[in-house]
Amino acid sequence: MPAPGLTIVGRVRKAHGIRGELVIESLTDAPDAVFAPGRRVLAGTVDGDPSPDRRELVVEESRPFKGGWIVAFEGIVDRNEAERWRERYVLVPLSELEPIKEGEVYLHDLLGLSVVLDASREVIGDVMDVYELPQGIMLDVRRPKGSVLIPFRPEVVTRVDLGDRQIVIAPPEGLLE
**Cα–Cα distance list, 63 to 7, 9, 48, 89, 141 (Å):** 21, 15, 23, 18, 34
Q: Among residues 50, 71, 96, which one ends one of the domains?
A: 96
Whether residue 138 sits in one domain with residue 91: no
d(C-alpha 42, C-alpha 32), whole Å: 17
Judge contact between 30 and 7, C-beta under 8 A: no
Whether residue 119 sits in one domain with residue 87: no
Note down the domain range covering 43: 6-96
Any residues with CB less than 8 A from the CB of 43 and at least 6 apart, and which? Answer: 50, 51, 54, 55, 56, 57, 85, 88, 90, 91
2 has a pLDDT exceeding 80: no
Q: What pLDDT shows up at residue 46?
A: 66
Indicate the average pLDDT of the chain.
Answer: 89
Among 98-102, 115-119, 141-145, the least confident range: 98-102
Q: What pLDDT shows up at residue 115?
A: 96
Whether residue 156 sits in one domain with residue 125: yes
4 has a pLDDT exceeding 70: no
Q: Among residues 42, 69, 96, which one ends one of the domains?
A: 96
Q: Give a yes or no: residue 46 inside a domain.
A: yes
Domain count, the chain: 2
Q: Give a yes or no: residue 51 inside a domain.
A: yes
Whether residue 73 sits in one domain with residue 10: yes
Judge contact between 39 and 59, C-beta under 8 A: yes
Q: What pLDDT shows up at residue 27?
A: 84
Per-residue pLDDT tens for 52-64?
A: 878 899 999 999 9
Whether residue 81 sits in one domain with residue 116: no
Q: Give a yes or no: residue 117 inside a domain.
A: yes
Whether residue 117 sits in one domain with residue 68: no
Judge contact between 90 and 8, C-beta under 8 A: yes
d(C-alpha 77, C-alpha 33), whole Å: 23
Q: What pLDDT shows up at residue 19?
A: 95
Q: Among residues 73, 96, 119, which one ends one of the domains?
A: 96
The CATH number of the domain holding residue 71 is 2.40.30.60
Among 68-72, 103-107, 139-143, the least confident range: 103-107
Q: What pLDDT shows up at residue 3?
A: 61
95 has a pLDDT exceeding 70: yes
- Containing H/E element for 88? none
Among 14-23, 32-41, 47-56, 136-145, the least confident range: 47-56
**Exposure pattern of 60-70 as b/e (b: 16+ CB <10 Å)?**
bebeeeeebbb
Mean pLDDT of 137-166: 92
Whether residue 112 sits in one domain with residue 64: no
d(C-alpha 35, C-alpha 94), whole Å: 15
Whether residue 84 sits in one domain with residue 12: yes
Whether residue 137 sits in one domain with residue 74: no
The CATH number of the domain holding residue 117 is 2.30.30.240
Per-residue pLDDT tens for 33-90?
A: 999 999 999 988 766 678 887 889 999 999 999 888 999 999 999 999 999 999 888 9
User: Which residue from 22, 20, 12 is spatially nearest to 79, judged by alpha carbons?
Assistant: 20
